[in-house]
Amino acid sequence: MNERPNMRTPFPSPHVREGKEGGVSAGLSNRDAHTLTSTSSPQGGGEQVELLRHVRRPLPHDSGIKHVQGVAQYIDDIREPEGTLHVAIGQSPKARGRLISLDVSALRSVPGVVAVLTAADIPGKNDVSPAFGDDPLFADEDISFLGQALFAVVATNRDVARRAVKKAVMEIDAEAPSITVEDALERGETVLPDYAYGRGDPAAAIARAPKKLEGQFRVGGQEHFYLEGQIALAIPGEDGDIHVYSSTQHPTEVQHVVARVLDVPDAYVTCETRRMGGGFGGKESQATQWAVTAALAARVTGRPCKLRLDRDDDFILTGKRHDFRCDWTVGFDEEGRIQGYAVDLLARCGYSADLSSGVVDRAMFHADNAYWMPAVRIASKRLKTNTVSNTAFRGFGGPQGMLAIEHVMDRIAWATDRDPLDVRYANFYRPGENLTPYGMEVEETDTLLNLVRTLEQTANYRVRREEIAAFNASSPIMKRGLALTPVKFGISFTLTHMNQAGALVHVYQDGSVHLNHGGTEMGQGLYIKVAQVVAEEFGIAMERVRITATTTAKVPNTSPTAASSGSDLNGMAARIAAGAIKKRMTAYASEAYGVPEEQIDFRDDRVFVGNQSLSFDELAKKCIAARVQLSEAGHYKTPKITWNREKGTGRPFFYFAYGAACSEVIVDTLTGENRLLRADILHDVGRSLNPAIDIGQIEGGFVQGMGWLTTEELVFSREGHLLTHAPSTYKIPVASDVPADFNVALYPNENREETIYRSKAVGEPPIMLANSVFCALADAIHALDPSQPVPLNAPATPEAILRACEALRGRPMG
Amino acid sequence: MVRDTIRFWRNGQAVEVSGFHPRTTLLDYLRLQERRVGTKEGCAEGDCGACTVALGRIRGGRVHYEPINACILLLGQVDGAELVTVEDLAASGELHPVQSAMVAHHGSQCGFCTPGIVMSLFTLYHEGERPLSRDNVNDALAGNLCRCTGYRPIVDAALEACSGQADDSFSANGERTTQGLMRLADGRDVFVGNESRFFAAPASEASLAALYAQHPDATLVAGCTDVGLWITKAMMEIEKIIWLGRVAGLDAIEESSDALGIGATVTHAEIHPSLARIDPDLGEIMRRFGSVQVRASGTVGGSIANGSPIGDLAPVFIALGAELELRHGDAVRNLPLENFFIAYRRQDRMPGEFVRRVSVPKLKGDEAFRAYKISKRFDEDISSALGAFKFTLDGRRIAAARIAFGGMAGTPKRALETERALVGVSLDEPASWGEAMAAIARDYQPLDDHRASSAYRSTVARNLVFKALSETASGETRATRIAGRREALQAAE
């Protein structure tokens, strides 16, 4: 318990304040140890009262006190074993072609260089891909993108290794690379087959509709910019064992791929991850290559090996959010109600499949967002370009598909001269019109409608709409814009088998509890949420629950911490494990004290057995003496989900999470400079496990989404160089980009499905709240000439905005 | 007597280090030698702030703390300063007020940026304006990227923790630290290494001139905010480094009624108030120049001497008519600043010659000045284009104009065609401004790059001519600016 030497109390006064709408808002104030809340269930179950000690309380992040002192250990902070070597990656200087020769002999004689690794040094398969076998550890024949790993240098220090990689001599038979969507379309190259589904005859419906629009909309990619770059430390053991510390969201995959590449059984490899300095999807499949390289270096040299990518290399060598071109056609009536919608989602996947199957599927699953489409076709292409392989990024394709339909909503509004919010209302799913394009019923149609109506009121949308119109009428240069956009996001991995999790719980004789589960901590607060669940289950103080690093040796065969599923899956698994132990402890106490099990209660660090009580640790001791097992592996699998990809129908999601945001911006139409002036968010996390953590996810997701849609621009040269390769050239939001007037509240709701304490997933959905910023920028530009649509693509950089402004002024920028 | 060590103050005592490689960064020293790993490397280019530490130096008789990016600061540059890292704040077993506030406000998620943010807030705690505004906090955090929180809880924590009088162990030990630092200030030349590889920190201009004349192949370093990247990113094999930070007198600011003389090693932070007094737009340019960390290290002389086409100071100084003073050995010469920039990254500077000072004329009563920094992001971004305009007015007519842009050519460059087209133009006849707006296309043929396209730069430059004229005509900026409205800046002055 003395892991936190400098804290007086590990969990300073938690507090919850009822927000304006009965939800919990960002300012949190004091409350007593027990949080007593009541709720009326949407199923009409009436008032129910919960007596909870930890769950629903805004406890701080489990590592918060360590973070602020710099004592939270990241992989680069682990004291290296003596003799640890350092690895740097040798990269391809060309984007496409054939590697004719690679001469690394000069490197071997550099003082400090211990080994140089190429494809020839790989004992097993030269494949670090998550599924499709198309990601070599080191390319040895075909060059697929500029920067691709060709070899690695292992040296006594990092500086020597980084300098040595520059000395390789290679010959490449280069050809012109495919960089853009158009390049790939022209070559007809894809990483995976095209895929489409739909309903009815959208072409006919659009042709019949009173009004019709079509367009091409581009959505940019996004670099994760986790503050901690990719890193792994591999330590060799006996008999070919290897222990890999990896900053990964997917320890099981690291374990499995290390084994595959080293040609050892999975059981010889352990992957451990205590925490990441951010992940956001960028360490779901693409932490693997660096862990495998470190492991191979450790195998070859017999010494511990560390690989930490320099930030520029991290940008160049790891995939990003997919950028898309969306070719769309829509037919609608005078009210703006969609009658038919057809969209081709053309995704730039980079050189390999990676996770593009699921990413683009999820873009398709969210191409409807919250809107009923009587006749619809959602089609997709997974285009191959000679750029780094794009990968998971918070939202996993969903944001791109969703932004396209939000853009279309605006286009309909401009064409019908209606308020964009009214067009959105007109198209919401409603009872009887609640089947998604992939045939899943939206059961909860009232939630989003009520949520948006509430936000419309609290954000004062209509009044501000008029004020802004008045402002714009008298302001020729500065224009303000307003938008309120909804989010409906499907929760579950769309690969059904991934919706499972394990946890391992031990109770020791002193009543302390060791908690382990398959989920990883990347800052999202998963560890504290699961610890709250376990402490609640045992009725013990949080301090008794020791959160331990995720490791494949304790909980095997896990899914990545992704798809917002972390607390849904691992919270349940941990509760099942703790519940099983508690059940055995209860059974023992019942027998030992002759008291029925119903009269045994675990609370306040004690166990109440009829009229008497004993401390939790006393009962633990007694159980051990009575040979009761106080350890349990829990396992959970999500119910109800089915998805038939061939038929394009089923229920891929257990439930939907909802939210909405209202953003107001100002645009300088002479320069394209712009600023978010105010944002109001109302978000549905069901019944929150931890409102402080959830609000942190919502605010952080919104700001990250705003960056994606405004200042974050990825620029590749024709040759395939990534020109925005560091924070000096790639601009994520800073503090001043966040408005002072930033109002975030939780929508009072509970999950109609039986999730952990009726909460809802929160990791990804908030990123799409930022669609409101993009739409507000378009709205502001629209004020320059309301008779024209705004030709704005994402990201809406100052340049993109000025380009749209000048187009509306009739003097195209060239 | 030459000293062959560097000395700094750390945890209440003097630390002496010798025999280090001249390229050693402070961050590598902390993480690899001291093995204090609380300070993180996020980008190794001074942009993310994860490596922020505080350096204390004596100014006005007391210790002042500034945030510094340890990733691009050379170890040798801490000579004479107090070094404070994140591990030091809670050393007595109690969290520092900024640390407590960060925990209470849920200001950390993944935690990797947190040590840097804590250190930036530590300097704000000691040096921040009172009363402290949200804008002050945002400025203090402009050099600290956080990818998780969206900043709101961090700003709230800062407002809570940094609004009062500093009352921590550092303020309590201030007197002792001051005495310690004064003992370190020995006025001796520092030379660590040998003739072929050294870190040198001459204490006088004469020593500098002699050393540099002897080693014209040495790299001069002032703040190291640019050279740092040559080391961490370009991995240049720099073996001889002369740090200017200890040269007495080179850090002088000489202010007269009509000009500002700025010594080469005056930092951006130090010159900021004087420039803001010349014109509020200059103050705003300085506020947005890099970040607090970069402004605390980076110098006026370095910004000019490295010849960057996108540095923000050169174009505004050229528009104001600044002169540059260079020294080689004992020879000193002056030239108009615009003549210093010959071509892309090529300057009129001989081997062994160094920038000594820049003299910036103040505005006269009949002169109006406007400057605009255009970038993808308002704060901590490099300009896509920066336009600076000085108009000499004859009533409501423009008698003369000096205009310079950064980001529009291979060097900071004057817009001579536009200047000519503006002579005689009436501020009251916007219809007559077209010729000048068109002329800018003849002055500049900018490049496409990752910051902006040529078309954007040209269009913005034309629109900025319009904006500068409009604002000069109306005397207002309320209806023409999002950030840096002059009315607000003047009210704050």
**N-terminal to C-terminal alpha carbon distance within chain B:** 46
Mean pLDDT, residues A657-661: 98
Asked if the model's pLDDT at residue A8 lies above 80, the reply is: no
Residue of B nearest to A721 (CA): B450
Q: How confident is the model at residue A585 (pLDDT cuts 50, 70, 90)?
A: very high
Residue of B nearest to A711 (CA): B376
Which of A7, A163, A673 lies closest to B235 in CB terms?
A: A163
Q: Are A566 and A526 in contact (CB under 8 A)?
A: yes
Looking at this predicted complex, what is its ipTM?
Answer: 0.98
Residue of A nearest to B149 (CA): A700
Cβ distance B106 to A76 less than 8 Å, yes or no, reads no
Measured CA to CA in angstroms, residue A351 lies from A131, A388, A439 at distances of: 14, 6, 32
- pLDDT on residue B454: 97
Cis, peptide link before residue A795, omega less than 30° from 0: yes
Collect all residues of chain A within an 8 Å Cβ-Cβ radius of residue B464. 670-671
Asked if the model's pLDDT at residue A27 lies above 90, the reply is: no
Cβ distance A674 to B148 less than 8 Å, yes or no, reads no
Return the axis-axis angle of helices A288-301 and A251-262, rounded to nearest 10°.
40
Question: What digits encode the pLDDT tens for the residues A74-129?
Answer: 999 999 999 999 999 999 999 999 999 999 999 999 999 999 999 999 999 999 99
Question: What digits encode the pLDDT tens for the residues B174-185?
Answer: 999 999 999 999
How many Å lie between the alpha carbon of A625 and the closest alpha carbon of chain B? 40
Interatomic CA distance for residues A241 and A96, integer angstroms: 37
Asked if the model's pLDDT at residue A11 lies above 70, the reply is: no
Which of A26, A162, A163 lies closest to B152 in CB terms?
A: A26
- pLDDT on residue B492: 77
Which of B87, B372, B482 lies closest to A666 in CB terms?
A: B482
- pLDDT on residue B1: 82
How many Å lie between the alpha carbon of B336 and the closest alpha carbon of chain A? 30
Q: How confident is the model at residue B119 (pLDDT cuts 50, 70, 90)?
A: very high
> Which pair of structure tokens corresponds to residue A147?
């920067």
Mean pLDDT, residues B116-144: 97
Collect all residues of chain A within an 8 Å Cβ-Cβ radius of residue B141. 734-736
Q: Are A744 and A695 in contact (CB under 8 A)?
A: yes
Beta-strand pair A655-668/A211-219: unpaired
The B residues from 16 to 75 touching A (CB cutoff 8 Å) are 31, 35-45, 47-48, 50
Q: Is A523 left (phi over 0), alpha (psi -120 to 50) or beta?
A: left
**N-terminal to C-terminal alpha carbon distance within chain A:** 65
Mean pLDDT, residues A553-574: 97
- pLDDT on residue A5: 36
- pLDDT on residue B310: 87
Q: How confident is the model at residue A21 (pLDDT cuts 50, 70, 90)?
A: very low
Collect all residues of chain A within an 8 Å Cβ-Cβ radius of residue B93. 5-6
Interface check B234 vs A, CB under 8 A: no
- pLDDT on residue A46: 43
Q: Are A633 and A555 in contact (CB under 8 A)?
A: yes
Residue B297 corresponds to which amino acid? S
Collect all residues of chain A within an 8 Å Cβ-Cβ radius of residue B376. 711, 713, 731, 797-799
Q: How confident is the model at residue A50 (pLDDT cuts 50, 70, 90)?
A: confident
- pLDDT on residue A10: 37
Asked if the model's pLDDT at residue A9 lies above 70, the reply is: no
Residue of B nearest to A799 (CA): B456
**Counting every residue, how long is chain A?**
814
Asked if the model's pLDDT at residue A26 lies above 90, the reply is: no
Collect all residues of chain A within an 8 Å Cβ-Cβ radius of residue B90. 6, 69
Give backbone dihedrals phi and psi of A363, rounded to 5 degrees, phi first.
-60, -40
Asked if the model's pLDDT at residue A814 lies above 90, the reply is: no
Q: How confident is the model at residue A265 (pLDDT cuts 50, 70, 90)?
A: very high
- pLDDT on residue A338: 98
Asked if the model's pLDDT at residue A43 lies above 70, the reply is: no
Question: What digits encode the pLDDT tens for the residues B241-292?
Answer: 999 999 999 999 999 999 999 999 999 999 999 999 999 999 999 999 999 9
Cβ distance A69 to B38 less than 8 Å, yes or no, reads yes
Cis, peptide link before residue A791, omega less than 30° from 0: no
Residue of B nearest to A479 (CA): B479
Around Cβ A109, how many Cβ atoms within 10 Å? 9
- pLDDT on residue B493: 67
Asked if the model's pLDDT at residue A12 lies above 60, the reply is: no
Write down the number of H helices and E strands in chain B: 19, 20
Question: What digits encode the pLDDT tens for the residues B98-108?
Answer: 999 999 999 99
Cβ distance B144 to A735 less than 8 Å, yes or no, reads yes
Closest CA to A399 of A478, A320, A315: A320
What is chain B's mean pLDDT, rounded? 96
Sign of CA dihedral B72, B76, B80, B86: positive
The B residues from 389 to 408 touching A (CB cutoff 8 Å) are none
Q: Are A39 and A87 in contact (CB under 8 A)?
A: no
Inter-chain CB pairs, A–B, below 8 Å: 279
Q: Are A773 and A710 in contact (CB under 8 A)?
A: yes
How many Å lie between the alpha carbon of B331 and the closest alpha carbon of chain A? 38
Interface check B480 vs A, CB under 8 A: yes
- Greater confidence, A405 or B311? A405
Question: What digits encode the pLDDT tens for the residues A506-548?
Answer: 999 999 999 999 999 999 999 999 999 999 999 999 999 999 9
Collect all residues of chain A within an 8 Å Cβ-Cβ radius of residue B48. 227, 311, 727
Residue of B nearest to A278 (CA): B110
Which of A6, A166, A278 lies closest to B147 in CB terms?
A: A278
Question: What digits encode the pLDDT tens for the residues B226-244?
Answer: 999 999 999 999 999 999 9
Question: What digits encode the pLDDT tens for the residues A319-349?
Answer: 999 999 999 999 999 999 999 999 999 999 9
Closest CA to A196 of A409, A437, A495: A437
What share of chain A in percent tops pLDDT 70?
94
Interatomic CA distance for residues B302 and B314, integer angstroms: 11
How many Å lie between the alpha carbon of A796 and the closest alpha carbon of chain B? 10
Asked if the model's pLDDT at residue A293 lies above 50, the reply is: yes
Interatomic CA distance for residues B243 and B229, integer angstroms: 16
- pLDDT on residue B145: 98
How many Å lie between the alpha carbon of B310 and the closest alpha carbon of chain A? 13
Q: Are B217 and B240 in contact (CB under 8 A)?
A: yes
What is chain A's mean pLDDT, rounded? 94
Cβ distance A671 to B115 less than 8 Å, yes or no, reads no
Residues of A with active-site annotation: 764
Cβ distance A798 to B376 less than 8 Å, yes or no, reads yes
- pLDDT on residue A48: 58
- Half-sphere CA count of B407, side-chain side, radius 13 A: 29
Residues 6+ positions from B247 with CB-CB distance below 8 Å? B202, B203, B204, B205, B207, B208, B265
Which of A91, A156, A671, A730 should be substituted to probe chain B, the one whose Cβ sees the most B Cβ atoms within 10 Å? A671
Interatomic CA distance for residues B70 and B89, integer angstroms: 17
Cβ distance A70 to B38 less than 8 Å, yes or no, reads yes
Question: What digits encode the pLDDT tens for the residues A661-717?
Answer: 999 999 999 999 999 999 999 999 999 999 999 999 999 999 999 999 999 999 999
Return the axis-axis angle of helices B454-474 and A798-808, rounded to nearest 10°.
70
Q: How confident is the model at residue B309 (pLDDT cuts 50, 70, 90)?
A: confident
Collect all residues of chain B within an 8 Å Cβ-Cβ radius of residue A700. 109, 147-150
What share of chain B in percent tops pLDDT 70?
100
Question: What digits encode the pLDDT tens for the residues A230-261?
Answer: 999 999 999 999 999 999 999 999 999 999 99
How many Å lie between the alpha carbon of B55 and the closest alpha carbon of chain A? 18
The B residues from 115 to 174 touching A (CB cutoff 8 Å) are 115, 118, 134-135, 137-139, 141-142, 144-155
Which of A280, A797, A802 lies closest to B460 in CB terms?
A: A802
Core vs surface per residue A567-601: b (16+ CB within 10 A) or e: bbbbbbbbbbbbbbbbebbbebbbeebebeeeebe
Asked if the model's pLDDT at residue A426 lies above 90, the reply is: yes
Collect all residues of chain B within an 8 Å Cβ-Cβ radius of residue A60. 103-104, 106
Q: Are A367 and A399 in contact (CB under 8 A)?
A: no
Interface check B449 vs A, CB under 8 A: yes
- pLDDT on residue A249: 98
Collect all residues of chain A within an 8 Å Cβ-Cβ radius of residue B377. 711, 731, 733-734, 737
Asked if the model's pLDDT at residue A14 lies above 60, the reply is: no
Which of A8, A68, A229 lies closest to B99 in CB terms?
A: A68
Q: What is the DSSP string of A532-591?
A: HHHHHHHT--GGGEEE--EETTTS-SPPPS-TT-HHHHHHHHHHHHHHHHHHHHHHHHHH
Asked if the model's pLDDT at residue B3 lies above 50, the reply is: yes
Core vs surface per residue A767-788: b (16+ CB within 10 A) or e: bbbbbbbbbbbbbbbbbbeeee
Cβ distance B459 to A525 less than 8 Å, yes or no, reads no
How many Å lie between the alpha carbon of B377 and the closest alpha carbon of chain A? 6
Question: What digits encode the pLDDT tens for the residues B378-418?
Answer: 999 999 999 999 999 999 999 999 999 999 999 999 999 99
